Amino acid sequence: MGGSSSKILDPEEVADISTETGFTPKQIHRLYNRYSALDRSHAGYLQRQDFLLIPELAINPLGDRIINEFFKGGEELNFRDFLKKVARFRKPSSNGVTEYNNREAKLQFLFGMYDLDMDNKISRSELLSVLQMMVGASVTMDQINRIGERTMAEADVNGDGYITYEEFKTAVEGVDIENKMSIHFLD
């Protein structure tokens, strides 16, 4: 199942994936159908260009960043890895908390959205770039710069000009990331 687009999922592997990700077997089958539909070349894996065909990502100003986070560490995404990435967006309360949908996993994903050069820290220019992606032309560059300066002043605790992952975690401590970064998966 991991490397091919077979029509039938092995029940034992479905049970393993369910335990690992928290998705119900029914959700796994639904997600497999979605995965198979995205795999238009029937290669048994997804590539970046497959994700560009998802309308919600194509119109999302952070679509490229989201896709980059899905493909961190490789250019191909098999079904099991696809589910692990998608599980980041599963509500922690439904079927429990796993290593993929806990607060830490969601924060790491979110931090990666800002860490454009993947050096494990967010620079002022990275922060401004992502802010500009999010707000587009609806906010002036002057306003974006002020938001960026205020964010850096609050989050960059040691004043080195970068927001480290630990500083990022502290900055979003009071934010309900677990639910804000969750979507409802149908059964």
Read off the pLDDT band of 151 (50, 70, 90): very high
Are 11 and 45 within 8 A, CB to CB? no
What structural domains and CATH numbers belong to the chain?
1-62+73-94 (1.10.238.10), 102-181 (1.10.238.10)
Residues in the chain, total:
187
Residue 94 is predicted with a pLDDT of 59
Q: pTM here?
A: 0.84
Are 22 and 97 within 8 A, CB to CB? yes
Residue 2 is predicted with a pLDDT of 47
Query: Is the torsion defined by CA of 97, 87, 84, 114 positive or negative?
Result: negative
pLDDT digits (tens, 9 = 90+) for 1-42: 444 444 579 999 999 999 999 999 999 999 999 999 999 999
User: What are the C-alpha distances in Å from 154 to residues 3, 167, 174, 179?
Assistant: 45, 9, 14, 23
CA nearest neighbour of 79 among 28, 41, 11, 12: 28
User: What are the C-alpha distances in Å from 43 to residues 34, 100, 121?
Assistant: 15, 26, 35
Instruction: Provide mean pLDDT across the span 36-62.
Output: 91
Task: Report how far residue 96's alpha carbon sits from residue 176's, in angstroms, rounded to the nearest whole number.
Answer: 17
Task: Report how far residue 126's alpha carbon sits from residue 144's, in angstroms, rounded to the nearest whole number.
Answer: 12
